[in-house]
Amino acid sequence: MTAAATLHRHGGRLAAARARFPSAPEPWLDLSTGVNPRPWRGARAAPAALARLPDPEAVRDLEALAARAFGLPADRVAATPGTEAAIRALPWLTGARSVGVVSPTYGGHGEAWRLAGARVEPILRGALADAPFEAVVLVNPNNPDGAVVAPAELAQAAGDRWLIVDEAFVETAPELSVASAAGGRLVVLRSFGKFYGLAGVRLGFVLAEPAFAQRVRDHFGDWPLGAEAICAGAGAYADDGWPQATRARLARAAARLDRALVAAGYEVVGGTSLFRLVRRADAARRFEGLASRGVLVRPFIDQPDWLRFGLPPAGAWSRLAQALEARP
């Protein structure tokens, strides 16, 4: 895959950006992902913990803390080495051979089911209840446009088929979560790294009925997580005051980003408080101009007039403003 094609795949591809734009100034300002630029800052794994295999009981303790945060019993929560790993495992664990993916959305879902040999078709949000598939996948709120489906509507869409709800960004809008209802054929995915700003520790969760949650644990084995993920996750989910304060701060930052983007001539068409989706006829040229200045955003090969901007770190707002004002 070429560097240019890789940049369209999903965010966080700094090596590809450097290869595509070798003259761009360093360090890069990576706004291509929806990861909180101000991460949770708490304890990290001790050197002794890094020198031994993680204790499976520590994973169970983490699952219990996460379950408390999500609002359901611990036996319905299975920790995974990132949500992406769970996405790749679900086609095999459910056994579904046809899936409707509410689109446009994160491409990893459709890719995972196709690689498992399932029939994959895009569907509209309005077709959730009547979609004739063995499984339906929905990202809520959606990536990249932030579109949402109300929990009551999701309840009507559940039934005999699998309903997989990816809540990777739901911490920004917790009222949308159906985590507490996980069970039966409703499977919910939760991501740690995006909202808590620690994507590199690779931690996610599958929320499901106890038997299915145990199948997920069995799939990933006795050591699904490293010591850093266990330590960071346990500490963060025990920090009850951090999420509310962070939601307020992210909302202010997203509003500030909207003002900067509108001032630069972009139309804001959606997003969450962790990322903003914009439209502009010359978006491809704007992407090139930003990247040449070391600012990486997310382009879309199927929507060439779209760009997605993540939030900049506190000290990078002026650099983003200068890049937005510069001629592409």
User: 204 near 83, Cβ under 8 Å?
Assistant: yes
Residues 171 and 243 sit within 8 Å (Cβ to Cβ): yes
pLDDT tens per residue across span 18-54: 999 999 999 999 999 999 999 999 999 999 999 999 9
Decide: residue 193, CB within 10 A, 0-12 exposed, 13-18 middle, 19+ buried.
Answer: buried
In the CATH scheme, what is the code of domain 47-237? 3.40.640.10
Residues 6+ apart with CB under 8 A from 316: 29
- Alpha carbon of 28 to those of 11, 153, 293: distances in Å? 13, 41, 8
Closest CA to 32 of 55, 58, 50, 6: 6
Write down the domain spans for the chain: 3-39+242-325, 47-237
User: Given a cut of 80, is residue 5 above it in pLDDT?
Assistant: no
pLDDT tens, residue by residue, 44-99: 999 999 999 999 999 999 999 999 999 999 999 999 999 999 999 999 999 999 99
> What average pLDDT is seen over the chain?
95
130 pLDDT band (50/70/90 cuts)? confident
pLDDT of residue 197 exceeding 60: yes
| Cα separation, 246 vs 42, whole angstroms | 14
Cα–Cα dist 203/227, whole Å: 11
User: Contact at 8 Å (CB) between 113 and 93?
Assistant: no
CATH code matching the domain that covers 3-39+242-325, chosen among 3.20.20.330, 3.90.1150.10, 3.40.47.10, 3.40.50.2300: 3.90.1150.10
